[in-house]
Amino acid sequence: MQRYEQIEPIEPIIGPGQTYATITERISSIPLTDLRQTPRGWLVGFAISFSFLMLFLISILWLFARGTGIWGLNIPVAWGFAIINFVWWIGIGHAGTLISAVLLLFQQSWRNSINRFAEAMTLFAVACAGLFPILHLGRPWLFYWLIPYPNTLGMWPQFRSPLAWDVFAISTYATVSLLFWLVGLIPDFAILRDRAAGKLQRQIFGLLALGWRSSSRHWYRYEMAYLILAALSTPLVVSVHSIVSLDFAVSQLPGWHVTIFPPYFVAGAVFSGFAMVLTLTIPIRKWYNLEDFITMKHLDNMAKVMLVTGSIVFYGYLMELFYGWYSASVFEQYMVLNRMIGPYAPFFWALILCNGVIPQLLWFKFFRQNIPFLFVFSIIVNIGMWLERFVIVVISLHREFLPSSWDMYTPTFWDWSLYIGSLGLFFTLLFLFIRFLPMINIFEMSMLQFSENEKARRREARRVQLAGDTPEPAQMA
């Protein structure tokens, strides 16, 4: 048993036989590859994403030309896919910061190999998310009226509105995530500068590296600043989705006016974020042979996080139903029944299946470590989280206080095209990222390698002197 516990930590977060040089070489070689050697697979993937991006642009063009009437919106369902997609994307955008910031604070060094990637994903997801609130406006060209700026109207935004809060939350989140990401990139830019073959490459990366020279004094401030950014991002990431949830919770609509929204939205965000990270890392680690850096242990840990957050979300669903019944208000009670047996009930039950039932499989190590399953599962969760927002937005709106105004909501071609299109934008950015930037944080990996070596040495030493004695705590990671 104890033997096992001592063997256990050997389950590596970096594959065997890696040195600083090999790590650096392996990772940096991808962005440094000559354009002409770009892998065909990448080209195909990029082409597909790009065509969807074009669909996105066309949809936006048509939207601006005709108005939001091209969607299935109506009264009472005045919010549809645009808001659903917004919340969905912003939720996905939470994993990155969480992984890099929160796990950093908790000193989960296994994060190092996925945080750069996750942060990039966050940025692109937030970019997609940020577009939708503007697109969904009736007069999108006036979106800047939501921002406080001196103007001849003498008008201000109406700061009591959750939508005004959104503007600040989203923009702050986007900015801070970007800073966090860029700061993390500086040393790696230096590496790329130093490894660059061509003059142009060297100059570009040299510019980006700001003349970073890996000085210990710089490292000193760097680590401090990075830690502070993490400490700032952690409450930020919680606040952002809480505020997004207030878009609904502040209203008085049955199904929106729910006090548990903030925590359960945040949990949901982490849930969907990790799902998306899995969806993306599993193929990429395969195509770029990064199994040594993104190991089974990473997948296993992410699965565990999803199990926890997924269960919280599930609890949230159940609580909504419970409150609906407990409220003793005809409106709330009807809302609950309408979700479960109303015209959109299949969406609700699909949601329960995707986000409530299936994640329970993750209690078993077999599923946590079964890569094909994890991949499919992560996609199921992505769908489930989208359904969650559909359930909240549409099912609550389509039947509320006065039965006379009840109506159905049917998405149109343009609803779908804009959603698919935003995926196009996301993946286009992602493909560019994995091609032209180090998708894994090189210096952190080297640092990780260093500490792993240290541990290994100490472990070795201990095994030699007192074989079979109590294993040291927290040898995990």
Partner 1 sequence: MTRSDIYGLMAEFDSAEAITKAAHRAHEEGYRDMDAYTPFPIEEVIEAVSPSTTGVPFFVLIGGVLGASGGFLMQMYAMTIDYPLNIGGRPANITGWPSFIPITFESGILLAAFAAVISLIALNGLPMPYHPVFNVPGFERASQDRFFLCIEATDTKFDRRRTREFLQSLQPRQITEVEP
Partner 2 sequence: MTMQSPEERVDLSEIRTRLAGATGQQYWRSLAEVAETREFQEFLHREFPGGAAEWDHSFSRRTFLKVMGASLALAGLTACRYQPVERIAPYVNAPEQIVPGLPLFYTSVATSRGYAQGVLVESHTGRPTFISGNPEHPASLGAADIFTQAEILTMYDPERSRQVLNNGDKSTWDAFVAAIAPHLAELRRAQGAGLHILTQTVTSPTLASQFRALQSAYPQVQWHQYEPVGYDNVRAGSQLAFGEYVDTLYHFDQAQVILALDSDFLFALPGSVRYARDFSNRRRVRRDKLESNRLYVVESTPTITGAIADHRQPLRASEIERLTRVVAQRLGVTGVNNAELPAGIPAEWLEALVEDLQQHRGTSVVIAGHNQPPVVHALVHAINQQLDNVGTTLSYIDPVEVNPGNQLESLRALTTAMQAGQVSMLVMFGGNPVYDAPVDLDFANALARVGTSVHLSLFVDETSARSTWHIPAAHFLEAWGDARAFDGTASVIQPLIEPLYGGKSAHELVATLMGQVDVNGYDIVRNFWRSRGLGGRDFDTFWHTALSKGVIEGTAAPPKQVTLQATEFPDTVAAIPADELEILFQPDPSIWDGRFANNGWLQELPKPLTKLTWDNAALIGVATAERLRLRNGDVVELRTQGRTLRVPVWIAPGHVDEAVTVYLGYGRERAGTVGTGQGVNAYRLRTSDSLWIASGQLRRTASRYELVSTQDHSSMEGREIVVSGTLAQFRSNPEHPPFFHGEHEYRSLYPDYPYDGPRSWGMVIDLSTCIGCNACVIACQAENNIPVVGKGQVANGREMHWLRIDRYYSGELDNPRVYFQPMACVHCEKAPCETVCPVAATVHDDEGINNMVYNRCVGTRYCSNNCPYKVRRFNFLQYADLDTETLKLQRNPNVTVRNRGVMEKCTYCIQRISAARIKGEQANQPVLKDGDVVTACQAACPTQGITFGNLNYPDSEVNRLKAEPLNYGVLEELNTRPRTTYLARVRNPNPAIEPDMPAGEHHGTETSPHSVIEPEMPADGHHGTE
CA 456 to centroid of chain Cα atoms: 33
Cβ proximity to partner 2: between 100 and 396 the closer is 396
Q: Which of 89, 165, 248, 293 binds partner 1 (CB under 8 A)?
A: 165
Question: Which residue lies nearer to partner 2 by CB, 145 or 436?
Answer: 145
- The smaller minimum CB distance to partner 1, of residues 204 and 350, is found at 204
Q: Where are the alpha helices (DSSP H) in 356-441?
A: 365-368, 371-390, 396-398, 413-436
Task: Please identify which residue in 48, 361, 447, 471 interacts with partner 1, judged by CB under 8 A.
Answer: 447
Is 154 a binding residue for partner 1 by CB under 8 A? The answer is yes
The answer to whether the Cα torsion of 247, 250, 253, 258 is positive or negative is positive
CB of 399 closer than 8 Å to CB of 339:
no
Closer to partner 2 at the Cβ: 134 or 282?
Answer: 134
- By a kind-dependent CB cut-off of 5 to 8 A, residue 408 interacts, out of partner 2, partner 1, none, with partner 2
**To the nearest whole angstrom, how small is the minimum distance from the Cβ of residue 250 to partner 2?**
7
Cβ closest to partner 2, residue 186 vs residue 250? 250
Binding partner of 69, given partner 2, partner 1, none, CB within 5-8 angstroms per partner class: partner 2
In this structure, are residues 135 and 63 in contact, taking their beta carbons and an 8 Å threshold?
Answer: yes
Answer with the entry of partner 2, partner 1, none that 78 interacts with (C-beta below 5 to 8 A by kind). Answer: partner 2
Query: Are the beta carbons of 206 and 71 closer than 8 angstroms?
Result: no
Q: What secondary structure, in 3-state letters, does 404-415 show?
A: HHCCCCCCCHHH
Helices (H), 148-212: 162-195, 199-209
Our CB check for partner 2 shows the closer of 160 and 199 to be 160
**Beta carbons within 8 Å of 233's beta carbon, 6+ residues apart:** 97, 100, 101, 176, 177, 180
Question: What's the closest the beta carbon of residue 303 comes to partner 2, in angstroms?
Answer: 31
CA dihedral 320, 322, 323, 326 (to 10 degrees): 160
Cβ(417)–Cβ(135) below 8 Å? no
Burial category of 199 from C-beta neighbours within 10 Å (exposed 0-12, middle 13-18, buried 19 and up): exposed
Residues that bind partner 2 (CB under 8 A): 66-79, 136-139, 142-143, 145-146, 153, 155-158, 160-164, 167, 247, 250-253, 256, 330-331, 333-334, 337-338, 341-346, 397, 399-408, 410-416
68 Cβ contact list (under 8 Å, min separation 6)? 82, 136, 137, 138
Interface mask toward partner 1 for 171-200; x: CB under 8 A: xx--xx--xx-xx---x--xx-xxx-----
CB of 7 to partner 1, least distance (A): 26
Does the protein bind partner 1 through residue 236 (CB under 8 A)?
Answer: yes
Of 91-99, 123-131, 278-286, 444-452, which part binds partner 1 (CB under 8 A)?
Answer: 444-452
Taking the least distance from each CB to partner 2, the nearer of 138 and 211 is: 138
How many positions of this chain bind partner 1 (CB under 8 A)?
61
Q: Which of the listed partners (partner 1, partner 2, none) does 410 bind, with a CB threshold of 5 to 8 Å by partner kind?
A: partner 2
What are the angstrom distances between the C-alpha of 248 and each of 137, 225, 256, 319, 330? 17, 35, 5, 16, 20
Q: Are the CB atoms for 324 and 333 separated by under 8 Å? A: yes
Closest CB to partner 2 among residues 281, 338: 338
Site for partner 1 in 194-233 (CB under 8 A): 194-195, 206, 210-225, 228-229, 232-233
Interface segment toward partner 1; rule CB under 8 A; list 296-304, 341-349, 390-398, 442-450: 442-450
235 binds, among partner 2, partner 1, none (CB under 5 to 8 A by kind): partner 1
Please report, as residue ranges, which positions from 261 to 300 form the binding site for partner 1 (by CB under 8 A): none
C-beta separation of 264 from 306 below 8 A: no
b or e along 292-329 (b: 16 or more beta carbons within 10 Å of the residue's beta carbon)?
bbbbebbbbbbbebbbebbbbbbebbeebeebbeeeee
Residues within window 6-45 making contact with partner 1, judged by CB under 8 A: 19-21, 24
179 binds, among partner 2, partner 1, none (CB under 5 to 8 A by kind): partner 1
Q: What is the DSSP-derived secondary structure letter of residue 289?
A: T
169 interacts with partner 1 by CB under 8 A = yes
The SS3 call for residue 107 is coil
Chain residues in the site for partner 1 (CB under 8 A)? 19-21, 24, 148, 154-160, 164-165, 168-169, 171-172, 175-176, 179-180, 182-183, 187, 190-191, 193-195, 206, 210-225, 228-229, 232-233, 235-236, 239, 243, 246, 443-444, 446-447, 450
